[in-house]
A and B are shown apart, each in its own frame.
Chain A
Amino acid sequence: MSSHDFAILVYAAIGACAFLLELLSRRKRSRIPSLSTLFRNVMRTRPGRVGLLAGWAWLGLHFFAR
């Protein structure tokens, strides 16, 4: 396996973990929050809310702006 393939495999594994957590959060009485619920909790304070929106803005800047 090349370094390139290994790098992609790790990204895919992390993505699969996130997908699994989201799936588990949909069960009744799950102790795992959905990503949406987690974000809502983080965003109840200004640093959390503005920080997440800044992260989103940075994502757009990273891929499209320089």
Chain B
Amino acid sequence: MTEPEGDTRAHRLPDDPVSVGVAATIRAGIREPVIICLLVAALFDELSGNPLHFLILVGTAVALAVARARERVALGTAERPVGMWGDPPRALARVRSALARSSIPLLLVPAIAFALAVGWFQRYSVVASLAVALVGAVGIAVSWHGPLRDEPLEPVERSGKVLWMLVIVALSAWEVTNLFLQPTLSTDSYRHPTLSVLTDPLLATHLGRWLALLVWLRIGWGLLRR
């Protein structure tokens, strides 16, 4: 059974953004699983003492809720519109255009330079924090206006999707279980290690941080090209 195509109907959004109130934004937000996931993750990050993570996650969730509320009002339907991304601001359009014309060989040198430079600093240092936050924020901003290029979409069977969801839910559940089995949310445990505790030895070295940052950039690039 393939995915229902009901949400792929051609809708048109008005050129000017529709104004929406706080109540409409909240109503749209609580109906969107992605927004709930972002807010739950933000809550855990705030409880763990990570205000920077909290700000980025909540900022993204609020922006998405406002966008969804505007879409619901403009289109008169709760369906998620497909293929309507709106025009990006000029500066963002330039970044998207440059990225669309790029390739892995072309981006390899700046990516290695970024990973070397940021990896040279300690984890959680101001420089590493700001650099990673900046790249992450740019990635989110670029993704806001859709794929960098149009590619045909393969249908996905629900059964196959469910199998992947089981794996993702199992990983998340085991990670959260270990997190709660720690003495406190911000105190690591050897007996109940989270993934970040297990990767600590790797990320304690320059080489490990360099490699991890390269992998992180590669994953981001792969997502942007989807």
Contact = CB atoms under 8 A, between A and B. Distances in A.
Interface of A: 2-4, 7-8, 10-11, 14, 17-18, 21, 25, 30-33, 35-41, 43-54, 56-66
Nearest to A3: B191
Given A14-B171, A47-B68, A61-B132, A54 B124 contact: no
A16 B216 CA distance: 21
Interface string B131-165: 01101110110111011000101101101110110
State the main secondary structure of chain B at its contact with A. Answer: helix
Given A36-B222, A41-B161, A59-B216, 8 more contacts: A31-B157, A33-B160, A37-B154, A53-B224, A54-B60, A58-B41, A58-B45, A63-B203
A65 B192 contact: no
Q: How many of chain B's residues touch chain A, expressed as a range?
A: 35 or more
B166 to A, nearest CB: 8
B124 A31 contact: no
Contacts of B226: 36, 39-40, 43, 49
